[in-house]
Structure 1
Amino acid sequence: MQLDILYQDEFLVAVNKPAGLLVHRTYLAKGEEDAVVQRLRDQTGQWVFPVHRLDRGTSGVLVMAFSPDIARGLAEQFSQSQTEKIYHCLVRGFSSEKGEINYPLAKLNEQKGRARFKITGTEKEAETLFKRLHRYQLPIPVSRYPEMRLSLLEVTPKQGRKHQIRRHFKHLLNPLVGDTCYGCRHINKALRVEWNEALRLMLHASSLSFTHPIGGHRLTIQAKFPDSLQAVINKITPYQID
């Protein structure tokens, strides 16, 4: 399947990455050939170089460069927090109407041969802003509770720490729906049973703004919700309470 290209010029390309697709091949997915880098190389006929990362389960705006120099320049903007990122996510419970999570995060290292991460090194500054868009109350029992409460959020992470959004909302006790690493297993199981289907990580990179490394102008690239995420939103919309 071809990737949905959101923007392309002679220097860079941006796509709407599907959930479940790796950005590049990794030893953690040994034997798995499919990834954004390989797909985009075949699709554009050019070598592409990663600028930033999205978790495998996350969909949305992903930028690649057509040269190592352009990739380094763009990556510098990410490392210096000169980009503006907007995500949407679905979390457990009724979150606050808006808030700022200022909670340092230690580095995570992938453990070879295991689908887990090891905390290493010292903690680094991590700040995430959010506002609640909608609340939902579903007539689905969860653990000892007769109903399920969910919130749809718009989120702006100021840094790009590994799993920053997922770890920050776990810290608030509002873990992301569909998150098998930091999420609530009771919520995930209840929805899988209710809908009789797999449940994706409910996290989408909706918008990314950065300065074009050659033109110097500001670019804002947006990605609409993919069908897999929109289908979940459609299912819970009848139970929206605000």
Structure 2
Amino acid sequence: MIEILKETEDWIAINKAAGLLVHRTKLAAEEKENFALQLLRDQIGQAVYPVHRLDRPTSGVLLFTKKKELLPLFKAEFSERRVEKTYLALVRGVPSSKEGCFDRALTNERSGKLQEARTDYKLVDSVEIPFNTTGRYPTSRYSLLSIQPFTGRTHQIRRHLAQARHYIIGDKKHGDNKQNKFFEKQFDLQNLLLHAFELRFQDPITQENMGIHAEIPVHFRTILKELGFPNQEV
């Protein structure tokens, strides 16, 4: 059963599990997979329409409208950058600054054109563990980052962090294979450690300011504990 975070007459927010597709794709049709839209529709007994997207391996807050005619209003909140999105990510290494931004343009994967992109981050905490995961140093360092994407490009957070060599742990497409293999062997990790923790927006119908957050999933919290992060509350 999908975890419902908040529900009104007009919209519903859920905590999407890692590995769950938002809506049907050719791959899902071939493999007869479940997807969030279908599961939620069946669970509440009515049609729902996704306002934004989360990558398949990313967990966290996902917003749907219950009325198709309201979809343009909600989508406009995102396209006009009035929505504040906060993610949590476990990454390789420690940034040189406790907060900053990545703003290198990203290539559109369909058109090949460069698009402006900006991802802000803050260092929540960092640890150093006595394992050689790269073959170069006797220890390895990791950081828990709070991340706010200002733009919404495809795989933006994952690509910006990869450019900075702060690869997200568990990222099979843009990450570091050595790190991924280490976490699979040492901690049996099968998931991407990127979580859509909070969504803040103004309800375009009631004009009420909303703040919705999804607790860190068990697999993510378990890794933080195993690595020895002193504070897992964000």
TM-score bracket, shorter-length normalisation:
over 0.9
Unaligned runs of 5+ residues in structure 2 are: none
TM-score, scaled to structure 1: 0.90
Residues 52 and 75 in structure 1, CA contact (< 8 A), matched pair in contact too: yes
Structure 1 residue 180 and structure 2 residue 179: aligned? no
2:144 maps to 152
2:76 maps to 76
2:114 maps to 123
1:113 maps to none
1:108 maps to 109
Unaligned runs of 5+ residues in structure 1 are: 110-119
Between the aligned partners of 1:71 and 1:138, the Cα distance in structure 2 is 46
DSSP-derived class of the 2:109 partner: strand
1:60 maps to 60
Aligned positions of 1:91-240 closer than 5 A: 91-96=91-96, 97-109=98-110, 120-144=111-135, 145-195=137-187, 197-237=188-228
Residues 169 and 175 in structure 1, CA contact (< 8 A), matched pair in contact too: yes
Aligned length: 228
2:13 maps to 14
Q: CA deviation at 1:226?
A: 1.1
DSSP-derived class of the 1:121 partner: coil
**Segment of structure 1 superposing worse, 39-48 or 231-240:** 231-240
Identity of aligned residues (%): 38
Residues 126 and 229 in structure 2, CA contact (< 8 A), matched pair in contact too: no
Residues 125 and 229 in structure 2, CA contact (< 8 A), matched pair in contact too: no
Residues 138 and 239 in structure 1, CA contact (< 8 A), matched pair in contact too: no
2:24 maps to 25
Residues 140 and 190 in structure 1, CA contact (< 8 A), matched pair in contact too: no
- One-letter code of the match for 2:145? L
**Segment of structure 1 superposing worse, 64-73 or 150-159:** 64-73
Between the aligned partners of 1:64 and 1:194, the Cα distance in structure 2 is 37
Q: CA RMSD in A?
A: 1.5
Between the aligned partners of 1:138 and 1:100, the Cα distance in structure 2 is 26
Between the aligned partners of 1:81 and 1:104, the Cα distance in structure 2 is 17
Between the aligned partners of 2:180 and 2:220, the Cα distance in structure 1 is 15
Residues 141 and 190 in structure 1, CA contact (< 8 A), matched pair in contact too: no
Residues 25 and 32 in structure 1, CA contact (< 8 A), matched pair in contact too: no
Between the aligned partners of 2:27 and 2:108, the Cα distance in structure 1 is 18
Q: Which runs of 4+ in 1 moved over 4 A?
A: none
Between the aligned partners of 1:150 and 1:199, the Cα distance in structure 2 is 18
- One-letter code of the match for 2:70? I
